[in-house]
Amino acid sequence: MTGTVDRWQLDESSAKAYERYLVPLFFGPGAQHLIELAALKGGERVLDVACGTGIVARTASEHVGISGTVIGIDLNEDVLEVARTASSNIHHDIEWRKGDVKEIPFVDSSFDVVFCQQGLQFFPDRLAALQDIHRVLKSNGRLALSTMRPIKHNPSYAILAEALERHIGTDAGLMMRSPFLFLNIDELRNLFLTAGFHDLRILIGIGSARYPSIKEFVLREAASSPLAKEIKSVSDDVFNALIKDLDVSLLEYTDDDGIVFPTEAYVAIAWH
């Protein structure tokens, strides 16, 4: 028997859970940082690729105003539906379209700014994706992008991935590792330059993540990803053993308000 009562939030769609849990924690503040890095101005034409539930596009719309244009594209129709709902009360219209970053459905030189928040690590062909982003940017346009650093720089997630492997299986561990880019900063720089970008700045962003408990850390991370299916499938005994394992492994990150740990990402601005 699975512990469906204890794991109620895993019944929510991953797109809705992503918007509920991860946008306030990570992607909302990250979106604001990307907007500031790009020095977004009123009237600019903006594309948010791999937009997810659209927090970057929604934030950008406040800056470009009614004279600007904001479009979000993603391959996943479920996240686009959540994006449409989340943006329904925004004064400036945002266009949401299904589209692939390696074949962006716009003509050359269409945009002043392209944003890509935490999408690069999931692209099967990263160079092809960056080359197509470069294609749709205007001359002197810019790309503002963020992507998680290798998991060794995010030790709490490495601990979670290892615990998932021990208690649930190899696939669960691989899913937990998938958001973390394996490139170092020089390899990432070379990727941008090969795609045609110049005047590149890559920064290391160091933040923190806080959850009310280790159990909520596991559940919220799972609910927002394909891990939900893996965790829902195990027995209460296995799930409880996973949490007990993490109680010990993550003890140094535990305080009176729950669990808190550092997170590291690359943040980049690159010019056409």
In a domain, 65, yes or no: yes
Residue 210: which CATH number?
A: 3.40.50.150
In a domain, 45, yes or no: yes
pLDDT recorded at residue 12: 57
Up-side HSE of residue 187: CA atoms within 13 Å toward CB?
A: 7
Residue showing tokens 């996943």: 76
pLDDT recorded at residue 229: 84
What the block records as the tokens of 173 is 């561990």
pTM: 0.92
Q: Per the structure, how many domains does the chain have?
A: 1
In a domain, 1, yes or no: no
Give me the amino acid identity at 12: E
In a domain, 3, yes or no: no
DSSP 198-241: EEEEEEEEEEEEEES-HHHHHHHHHHTSTHHHHHHTSBHHHHHH
Task: Give the residue from 74, 227, 91, 236 showing the smallest Cα distance to 83.
Answer: 74
Give me the amino acid identity at 26: F
Residue 170: domain span: 8-271
**Cα–Cα distance for residue pair 55/257, rounded to 1 Å:** 27
In a domain, 19, yes or no: yes
What the block records as the tokens of 215 is 């159990």
pLDDT tens series, the chain, 272 aa = 333 435 444 545 788 988 988 899 999 999 999 999 999 999 999 999 999 999 999 999 999 999 999 999 999 999 999 999 999 988 778 999 999 998 999 999 999 999 999 999 999 999 999 999 999 999 999 999 999 999 999 999 999 999 999 999 999 999 999 999 999 999 999 999 999 999 999 999 999 999 999 999 999 888 888 888 888 888 999 999 999 999 999 999 999 999 999 999 999 999 99
